[in-house]
Amino acid sequence: MPSSLKGKVAIVTGGGRGIGKAIARRLAEAGAGVAIASRKLENLQATAAEFASLPGKIVPIACHVGRLDQLENLVRETEAQLGPVNILVNNSATNVHQGSALDITDDMLDKMVEINVKSILRLVRLTVPKMIARKSGGSIINIASIAGLEPQAGGLLYSFTKAGVLMITRSLAREFGQFGVRVNAIAPGLIQTDFSAYFWKNEEHRRHLEANQPISRIGQPEEIAGMALYLASEDASFVTGQTFVIDGGATA
Ligand SMILES: NC(=O)c1ccc[n+]([C@@H]2O[C@H](COP(=O)([O-])OP(=O)(O)OC[C@H]3O[C@@H](n4cnc5c(N)ncnc54)[C@H](OP(=O)(O)O)[C@@H]3O)[C@@H](O)[C@H]2O)c1
Give the model confidence (pLDDT) of 70-99 as tens digits: 999 999 999 999 999 999 999 999 999 999
**pLDDT of 225 strictly over 90:** yes
CA distance 7 to 200: 39
pLDDT recorded at residue 45: 98
- Over residues 102-112, the mean pLDDT reads 98
pLDDT at 198: 87
Domains, the chain: 9-190+221-246 (3.40.50.720)
Evaluate if pTM is beyond 0.85.
yes
In ligand 1, the atom with minimum distance to the C-alpha of 16 is: 43
Give residue 85's pLDDT: 98
pLDDT of residue 155 exceeding 90, the answer is yes
Residues 133-145 have a mean pLDDT of 98
Looking at the CA of residue 158, tell me the nearest atom of ligand 1: 47
Q: Calculate what percentage of the chain has a pLDDT beyond 70.
A: 99
Is residue 230 flagged as an active site residue?
Answer: no
| 117 Cα–ligand 1 center, Å | 13
Instruction: Report the separation in Å between the CA atom of 167 and the middle of ligand 1, taken as the mean of its atom positions.
Output: 20
The average pLDDT across 172-191 equals 98
| pLDDT at residue 205, as a whole number | 83
Catalytic residue, from 82, 88, 141, 158: name it. 158
> What pLDDT is attached to residue 1?
59
**How many CA atoms lie less than 13 Å away from 245 in the CB half-sphere?**
12
Give the residue-averaged pLDDT of 140-152: 98
Half-sphere CA count of 1, side-chain side, radius 13 A: 7
Contact call for residues 32 and 56 (beta carbons, < 8 A) = yes
**Best mutation site among 13, 19, 44 for ligand 1 pocket (most ligand atoms within 8 Å of CB):** 19
**Does residue 2 register a pLDDT over 80?**
no
